[in-house]
Amino acid sequence: MIFNKIKIILRSSKGRKFPAFFQLKQFFKILGKREKIFFSLFCILFIGSSVFLGLSFYFKNTELQQAFGGSYTEGLIGQPRFINPIYDQSNDVDRDLTEIIFSGLMKYNPNGEIVPDLAKKYEIKENGKVYEFDLLENANWHDGEPFSADDLIFTIKIIQDPDYNSQLRASLFGIEVEKINNFKVRFKLKTPYAPFLETLTFKILPKHIWQDVSPENFSLVIYNLRPIGTGPFKFRSLEKNNISGHISSLTLVKNSDYFGKKPYLTEISFRFFENEQDLIEALRNGEINGLTYISPKNLETIKSEGIKFYNFYFPRYFDISFNPEKSEILKDEAVRKALNYGTNKKAIVEEVLLGHGKAIDSPLIPEIYNIPSPEGYQFDLEKGKELLEKAGWLDEDGDGKREKILKEEKENLFTRDLKLESQGEDVKSLQSCLAKDPQIYPEGEITGKFGEKTQAAVIRFQEKYFEDILEPWGFTEGTGIVSRTTREKLNEVCVQTPKEILPLKFSLVTVDQEELSLVADLIKKQWEALGIELELKKVSLSSLEQDFWKPRNYESLLFGKVIGLIPDLYPFWHSTQKRDPGLNLSLYDNKEVDKILEEVRQTLDKNERFEKYQILQNIIIKDAPAIFLYSPNYLYPVSDEIKGVKEKIIADPSKRFIDIEEWYIKTQRVWK
């Protein structure tokens, strides 16, 4: 019906000035009500189908990609002090900022591998004793000056100079570097060192900025807070609190001249807070998009649809180091092993870390290094108690605390034969001893002279202990002469054996920080079940370093260790590292371990190194110089507006930014 009417309208519209408009107008006039509804539905379906097919074609033939633009604001705990590569090791805030402002010769990639950064390529020669690097020729400092080999060599010389007091000095000690040309350098090592490429991930300073600054002024110049680097972001501004004078925020902007991949984000701002609670409140209020770290106990407080949590893994673990030089008790291998068996590591991970970590049994974390972990000491309270009892640590008075009775050798009072007419102090001692028993020496006279009364008392004493004194000689009655067997019995009966009771008690030092404090409290409770009395000393980080760690002034120490993605256990377990600045906090000394550590350092083949490390960790675990506790996850909360953040293995928390160029907020569709 409708189509017949359309034909009539088309014939009647011939010759008119606006035929299409006339046709449409006439068409609607001749349609009935139901026909108009039908036609309208048809048109809607036709248009909708066309739009759908068009959008389907568009989405099928385009893809969503990152777009440039957008800013990210992160909250940090603390204050920037030295945004300077040679001083940033002791301050997490400085290290975070240095990571994205500066570049190194080498860097970590998201897979935890060491790859070139300001280096273009490198070559290893002379079995690992010589490294040659070709440098990038298109890298510029943030102020436009070109980067060259002079900047690298200048930075190394500054680090190696003791006047500058850089914490990186030990890592470059004895390393020679020479300039071949403006973009080529050569390193010479005294002996091969397998982790050397990881050593070269330190960041480089601009020589033209720092060359005229004296060592005493190096930490004072403005460039420590207004840094110039070669990294993907450069300094723009900082703001201070007018009342406290503290830095409240620092803003970095995209380095458009960056030699690597240009970042998608245009700006990154950092805001500084005093504690985690202030940080969390700022995240809730939308003042920041992410925060440096959150403790497991606070996870629930910020869980929402707008926040995503990333778990990063890095080679850090916590252990308890035993110092046998400060504790006789901890010299006892049985005690150290009992403590290992009596420590419930899984309970620590569950109760303190709320599951965000892993119990470990060796200094090599299996998930990071792909080295199988030995069985270690699985929690077994009864086995721990058994070891202590065999070693003489008993709870005889039933108070729940173990002690050991130490016996000293007696001092023999009677060393010569005594008889009638003998005189001297030993005769007085003889009379004093015999007088303790009225039946033997009722007169009890202490004269120092061996008379008839004393002789009669000796006879009675000999006959009382007939089997020990007289029988060996075949005598049937006492002689009254103090000779060998009589002296032996007198020394046994008369001389009191000095008795020293040694309680199973020692101290544990740790940092007065919430997580470690909770771990220490839980360990104290666990060890009480073994019968051990543990004294906790919770101190500030600065006090721990100066008063305990450096002088090795502790009986046991609960602290963390960071090994590196290319593991080098030499600083932690070699006997030459027992004193500061070495990190052998257990004062461990094992010649076989020393030999393996020396060999591993010079072995470039990864598989061969790991085979040696498997042998080494078994020896260390057997000797029990420490208790390996747990490796925590690094929890990183970020707004879900920020895309491109990926969970990865990192060398330290600042390396969460190693792929900052890939982070983005804005997106766009492009044709495939």
Domains annotated on the chain, with CATH = 2-60 (no CATH), 64-102+231-310+636-672 (3.40.190.10), 104-214 (3.90.76.10), 316-402+505-632 (3.10.105.10), 425-497 (no CATH)
The whole-angstrom separation of Cα 152 and Cα 155 is: 5
Given a cut of 60, whether residue 9 has pLDDT beyond it is no
Judge whether residue 634 has pLDDT over 70. Answer: yes
Mean pLDDT, all residues of the chain: 90
pLDDT winner (highest mean) among 435-439, 490-494, 496-500: 435-439
Please report the pLDDT score of residue 18 as a whole number. Answer: 46
Tell me the angle at which helices 452-464 and 425-435 cross, rounded to the nearest 10 degrees: 60
**More confidently predicted of 53 and 418:** 418
Helical (H) or strand (E) element with 25? helix 19-30
**pLDDT tens digit string along 274-319?**
999 999 999 988 899 999 988 888 888 887 778 999 999 889 999 9
For residue 65, report the phi and psi dihedrals to the nearest 5 degrees: -130, 160
Q: Looking at 160-246, which runs of residues are DSSP E strands?
A: 176-181, 184-188, 233-240
The stretch 158-170 carries a mean pLDDT of 92
Contact between residue 113 and residue 651 where contact means Cβ atoms under 8 Å apart: no
pLDDT band at 374 (very low <50, low <70, confident <90, very high): confident
pLDDT digits (tens, 9 = 90+) for 89-127: 888 999 999 999 999 999 999 888 999 999 999 999 999
Q: Looking at residues 2-27, what average pLDDT do you find?
A: 50
Per-residue pLDDT, averaged over 137-146, amounts to 97
pLDDT of the residue at 186: 98
Residue corresponding to tokens 């073994």:
530
pLDDT reported for residue 144: 96
Rounded to 10°, the helix 2-12/33-60 angle is: 90
Q: What is the mean pLDDT of residues 59-71?
A: 80
DSSP annotation of 649 reads B
Residue 366 confidence (pLDDT): 84
Residue 432 to residue 147: CA distance in whole angstroms: 93
Using DSSP's 3-state secondary structure scheme, residue 65 falls into: strand
Alpha-carbon distances of 288 from 100, 225, 255, 311, 535, rounded to whole Å: 18, 22, 22, 19, 41
pLDDT, residue 410, reads 64
Q: In terms of Cα–Cα distance, which of 111, 647, 109, 629 is closest to 370?
A: 111
What SS3 class is residue 240? strand
**Cβ atoms within 10 Å, residue 186:** 16
Pick the closest to residue 115 from 669, 658, 534 (CA basis): 658
Question: What is the average pLDDT across 637-650?
Answer: 92
User: Angle at the Cα of 108 (from 549 to 602), degrees rounded to 5?
Assistant: 65
- Confidence band, pLDDT 50/70/90 cuts, at residue 543: very high
Q: Compute the average pLDDT of residues 176-189.
A: 97
Task: Look at residue 644 and tell me whether its pLDDT is greater than 80.
Answer: yes
Structure pTM?
A: 0.77
Query: 4-13, 343-352, 661-670: lowest mean pLDDT where?
Result: 4-13
- pLDDT above 50 for 57: yes
pLDDT at 30 over 70: no
Q: Residue 163: CB partners within 8 Å, gap ≥ 6?
A: 215
Percent of the chain whose predicted confidence (pLDDT) is above 90: 72
Cis bond upstream, residue 581 (ω within 30) = yes
Question: Is the pLDDT confidence value at 172 over 60?
Answer: yes
Banded model confidence at residue 665, pLDDT cuts 50, 70, 90: very high
Backbone φ and ψ for 662, nearest 5 degrees, come out as -90, -10
The DSSP H or E segment spanning 316 is strand 316-322
pLDDT at 11 over 90: no
Give the least confident one: 209-218, 368-377, 590-599, 645-654: 368-377
Give the model's pLDDT for residue 248: 95
pLDDT at residue 564 greater than cutoff 90:
no
pLDDT at residue 27 tops 60: no
- Statement: residue 633 has pLDDT above 80: yes
Q: How far apart are CA 586 and CA 571, in angstroms?
A: 12
Q: How confident is the model at residue 376 (pLDDT cuts 50, 70, 90)?
A: confident
Could you tell me whether strands 505-511 and 533-539 are parallel, antiparallel, or unpaired per DSSP bridges? parallel
Query: pLDDT per residue over 430-464, tens digit each?
Result: 999 999 999 999 999 999 999 999 999 999 999 99
